[in-house]
Amino acid sequence: MIDEHKLRRPDPVYRAASLVVNNQKRAKLQKQDLYAFMEQLAVAALDVNDVDTCDRTIDVLRETFPSSSRVKRLEGMSLEAKGRVDDAVAVYGKVLEEFPSDQRAMKRRVAALASAGRDKEAIEALAKYLDTFMADTRAWERLAGMYQERGAYRQAVFCWEEVVAAEPSVHYHHRRLAECLYTLGTEEDLRAARKYYAAAVDMSNASDVRALYGLALTDNRLTRKGKVKGNPDQPVDGDGQVPVTELGQHAAGLLRKMYAAGEKIGASKPGLCAIVEGQLKTLLDA
């Protein structure tokens, strides 16, 4: 079941695989199945911090499969667990020299580089990985996060756009893209952020609090930009569409209702509504 659904449950896997590997005669497994169990045991042993068991298992697998990329990848993971991250990166590099499209080795190398603080190299490695595996949505998310950590929000926007294109019905992807656009702060970026925040609110049935606050904040900034340009009475944005303050006021109203309902049933602390109301008044210049 765990293998079928690709779950990460190290404790039961460690116990079950240990029983099978240590009682091979009673298990009566084919050699191929036994080696698969040993591989699972090695990974699970690392997860439960039993590096010795992992190394013993790797030794057996290495004797049987001396040139296997999977065994070499396990060696790299063991080195990571021992804190020898640079050595692990070197192992993954050698694997990729022989097997350039080894997906798991590429991912492990990215993770090892990131854990070693070699962020620039990690970003380059992950970008190279995505050149080959462009449909890996989680990798695009990780790359976006790495760019955001370095303040490279324009590059992060590109990554989030790829994520939204791959999974357009997931509301928090739209919100994360909107947050990057809001941070960039140009008028064009703010208009785009407003659209993505609105999409996140719509897709989440107005349950995404961050998207609601983001929508109100974005409208407020667009309004201020309009006033700075000398158009204090112009209620529409540069595209001549929805009034700039209308969506913000609607988002604020939804937030008020949400916190009021939570306070009524005891889900929110007493007095929280008053705090939220004060924030919204400041936010919307009310």
pLDDT of res. 286: 44
DSSP-derived secondary structure letter, 170? -
Mean pLDDT estimate for the chain: 87
Query: Tens digits of per-residue pLDDT, 256-272?
Result: 888 887 666 666 666 77
Assign 243 to helix, strand or coil. strand
Q: Residue for token digits 């606050």?
A: 213
In angstroms, the CA 22 to CA 5 distance is 25
Residue spans of the domains in the chain: they are 1-66, 68-133
Q: How many CB atoms lie within 10 A of CB 86?
A: 13
How far apart CA 97 and CA 2 sit, in angstroms, is 32
230: pLDDT strictly greater than 60: no
| HSE-up (13 A, CA, CB side) for residue 87 | 12
Class of domain 68-133 as given by CATH: mainly alpha
User: What does the angle CA 15 – CA 20 – CA 25 come to, to the nearest 5 degrees?
Assistant: 155
Q: How far apart are CA 53 and CA 36, in angstroms?
A: 15
For residue 5, the tally of other CB atoms under 10 A from its CB is: 7
Query: Which pLDDT belongs to residue 47?
Result: 94
The pLDDT of residue 197 is 97
From 24, 18, 25, 64, select the one nearest 43 (Cα to Cα). 18
**Among 134, 103, 218, 141, CA closest to 149:** 141
